[in-house]
Amino acid sequence: MQVFSKVSRIFLAILFLFSGFVKGVDPLGTAYKIEDYLLAYQLDFLFSLSLFFAFALIAFELSLGIFLLFNLLPKYTWRASALLMVFFTFVTLYDALYNPVPDCGCFGDALILTNWETFYKNLVIDGFLVIALFEVRKPIKIKTHLLWALLIYFAFVAFSYYNLKHLPLVDFRSWKKGNQIFNPDQKPIDIYLSYKNIHTGETQEFLSPNYPYQDTAWLAEWEFQDSREFNPNPPASIMLFDLDSEEVTNEVLGFPDKSLLIVSYSLNQLSNNQILAIKNTIQLAESESIPVYLITASIANQINVFTKNNSIDIPFFMADDIDLKTIVRSNPGLILLENGYVRNKWSVVDFPTQAAQFSD
């Protein structure tokens, strides 16, 4: 039984460390997920604390993983792990039954599970915790191991803070550097026309323009009913609209040369220094004849006020704020596109200061 208990402890340690790492590499994404839960449980008045909760959860999971791995303070570690898992087991059961949040975010963007899969996963973890209990009473000298645990813990906190201030060093999302996010070779959209025979009621569907529209005898027997479109191209991960609400996704993402997307889900939250960084980036890009677009979730009136107050004269497009938070973890953030590929990404604190950076 001691062997099974030790294996269970090590398994749980690896699981907590992995969960803490994928959250810690993207603490802002973890904060967004916590906001989803706060909203679902009508606790949105705590939104201002979401980032604090994110760091607390990351630190707690990581410390449990470290203490389980080295079998430090076994009684307290087991109790803390059990309390955490009891809480999450009930939360995920509620999620599975009522689906208030579609994805729990247990493993960040690295591994997406359904709510039922998450609940069953937690039941398995609970079982390993029960088995690990049999090793709790084993005494162990902790001084050396505790020192290493604390060093690793604080190093990971610093690592998480770095990912918060800059961009995640490991990007699990579709808009990571090097990925193709838009195929410029778009296939034509198929249009299907449905006609009904006025005598028999029979219906037939034709792929336009492959129907007998020049046959007057046929047209006298059949009347138009409906039409539908089929787009053979994979959907873009984001939809862009101009200020007249016309979709411009293909034109912007499929630009054949280099282009820069300045992404800001909220223009009202930008500081003077961040606005200055945007203006410097625009000036630098214009010196290289690289078109610059600003993508935001702010409404048209806010965009007009922003451009007037800051004398920024570039095309503005609108998109969903959740999509913008997903493609770059910075407000504002910067993305270099070329022929549908993400060539580079920057947080606002790392915006390029030299034109050569657009060639990296």
Per-residue pLDDT, 155: 84
Which residues, other chains included, contact 255 with Cβ-Cβ below 8 Å and sequence gap of 6+? 291, 337, 339
pLDDT digits (tens, 9 = 90+) for 256-297: 899 999 999 999 999 999 999 999 999 999 999 999 999 999
Measured CA to CA in angstroms, residue 317 lies from 9, 84, 281 at distances of: 51, 43, 18
CA distance 158 to 58: 12
pLDDT digits (tens, 9 = 90+) for 110-139: 788 898 999 999 999 989 888 888 776 555
Collect the ranges in the chain with pLDDT lower than 50. none
CA distance 39 to 46: 9
pLDDT digits (tens, 9 = 90+) for 107-116: 877 788 898 9
User: pTM, whole model, 2 decimals?
Assistant: 0.79
Per-residue pLDDT, 143: 62
Per-residue pLDDT, 137: 59
Q: For residue 188, say if its preceding peptide bond is cis, omega within 30 degrees of 0.
A: no
pLDDT digits (tens, 9 = 90+) for 159-174: 889 999 999 998 988 8
CA distance 35 to 29: 10
Q: CA dihedral in degrees (68, 74, 79, 80; nearest 10)?
A: -40
Does CATH place domain 249-359 in 3.40.30.10? yes
- Name the nearest CA neighbour of 332 among 283, 291, 277: 277
